[in-house]
Amino acid sequence: MKKYLLLLLILIPNVVGAKEITSSCTITSDEEEYQEIVDDDFTTKVYFDQDETINIKCDSDISYIYISYDKTYVPGLIKGNKTYSLGDNKYLHELVKLEEEKDITLSFTNSFVITDIYLFDEELPDWVQNWQTLDKADLMLFSTHSDDEQLFFAGLLPTYADRGKKIEVVYYTNHYNNISRYHELLNGLWTLGIKYYPEMSTFPDEYSETLEDALANLENAGFTEEDAIKFQVDMIRKYQPRVVVGHDEKGEYSHGQHILNTYTLEKAIYKAADENYKTDNDYPAYQIDKLYLHLYEENPIVMNYDTPLSSFNGKTAYEVAKEGYAKHLSQQYTWFTAWLNGDNNEFTKMTDIEEYSPCNFGLYYTNVGEDSSKDDMFENIKERKTEDNKKEDISNNEPKEKEKKSNINYKIILGIFLMLSSGAGLLYILINTKKTAK
């Protein structure tokens, strides 16, 4: 059997593999080329006026265009043999599928700023972000800053992404004054296997060490505590998560905004379920199943982030988390880096981290009973009906046995087809058929 598999691997042509064609295309605006938008660096950018266009010409077909905007998306159009819209999903990193285009023009409704443009034919490489907008979430994480999801919640997101959970990450503060952190945020989430575009508040990032100072900073920026609660209520009602996760009540290392995030979240989960509580949005009232808080000492659970994950090629959740944090280039100089990786990058497992351990949580609220296994946030979570009225078991996303066999059969058929498409493969089969007949 092994020799047949080996022959199959030799004969199968290289049919899968992305090819970036950016360098072989001409990208101009008013006949001027801008190196800054093809240098694969989101810290460099080009400013364009509203009436300016970007013209792209390639020798081969462009199957995809991937655009990184600076601070915000801008609505626009791509014109070629067909017309494609830009900015519909409001993503900072936008991917558009094209059909048989070699010569296209990009135009926008307002002045715009581009950091990078990438062009591809065939399949896409894994690092290209094809974001989706989520309807209903299984898990919602309220991270305070861009990188907290990689640090104090390290391992959580890849663990449940590996299990097929639908995850929505909500950031309590924005980084509009340091937009690089927004790009790092997206790059980091994608590395963790998150496919659904995150949400971000308009609350500024201001350091404090107490709840009182954090509230004062919020008010100085023109917001109230009630504004913060309403934001969280809207997020819960909009995405209807089964499990919600928040920061340590003490703010891990006593960061006031971490404390404030959880302080308002503890109120928001009850207000979200109250039909009489109103916000500016018209989302229906919704009651979550569970709220876990980092380092909460009552009803504790301990997560295991040191076992291999199949969807990450056998890497552990801890290893994936370190890769995700590495995308936060602007934060590598901070003390968090040694805390996560070890002073000399000597940590090999999550349990090497002792202070503020990302493994330790407590069940603050439950609508489905207490935990008994103490190692899974989705314990006791029942089935949820999908939109087509079929039941989806969100506690176990393993494929059914029939589906597994179907996938295997498909792969066998594909392999045979590819072998037959090769003259050498056909000859091999004929020779072995004659041997069998003797």
CATH number for 34: 2.60.120.260
Q: Which tens digits make up the pLDDT trace of 326-335? A: 999 999 999 9
Is residue 14 a part of any domain in this protein? no
Question: Half-sphere exposure of residue 104, counting CA atoms within 13 Å on the CB side?
Answer: 27
Q: Give me the torsion for CA of 275, 278, 283, 289, rounded to 10°.
A: -50
Whether residue 270 sits in one domain with residue 156 = yes
Whether residue 59 sits in one domain with residue 162 = no
Is residue 170 a part of any domain in this protein? yes
Is residue 61 a part of any domain in this protein? yes
Q: For the chain, how long is the longest CA-to-CA vector?
A: 90
Q: What is the helix (H) or strand (E) element at residue 73, kind and residue range?
A: none
Domain end marker among 121, 153, 175: 121
Whether residue 113 sits in one domain with residue 42 = yes
Whether residue 144 sits in one domain with residue 116 = no
Is residue 26 a part of any domain in this protein? yes
Whether residue 375 sits in one domain with residue 341 = yes
Nearest to 138 by CA among 169, 165, 171, 170: 165
- 303 Cβ contact list (under 8 Å, min separation 6): 155, 156, 159, 358, 359, 360, 361, 375, 377
Whether residue 342 sits in one domain with residue 215 = yes
Whether residue 178 sits in one domain with residue 85 = no
Whether residue 237 sits in one domain with residue 145 = yes
Let me know: does 283 contact 238? Beta carbons within 8 Å: yes
Is residue 433 a part of any domain in this protein? no
Domain end marker among 75, 91, 121: 121
Low-confidence ranges of the chain (pLDDT < 70): 1-18, 385-438
Is residue 85 a part of any domain in this protein? yes
pTM assigned to the model: 0.83
Is residue 366 a part of any domain in this protein? yes
Let me know: does 359 contact 350? Beta carbons within 8 Å: yes
Q: What does the pLDDT read at residue 382?
A: 85
Whether residue 356 sits in one domain with residue 267 = yes
Q: What does the pLDDT read at residue 18?
A: 54
| 251 conformational bin, left if phi > 0, alpha if psi -120 to 50, beta if neither | left
Whether residue 144 sits in one domain with residue 99 = no
The b-or-e profile of 217-234 (16+ CB within 10 A means b, else e) is: bbeeeebebebbbbbbbb
CATH of the domain at 364: 3.40.50.10320
Domain end marker among 373, 392, 411: 392
Rounded-to-integer distance, Cα 70 and Cα 327, Å: 17
Nearest to 43 by CA among 114, 127, 119: 114
Q: Which two tokens stand for residue 104?
A: 């296209």
Q: Which tens digits make up the pLDDT trace of 27-79? A: 999 889 899 999 999 999 999 999 999 999 999 999 999 999 999 999 999 99
Whether residue 57 sits in one domain with residue 159 = no
Name the domain count of the chain. 2
Whether residue 249 sits in one domain with residue 216 = yes
Is residue 274 a part of any domain in this protein? yes
List the domain range (segments joined by +) for residue 362. 139-392
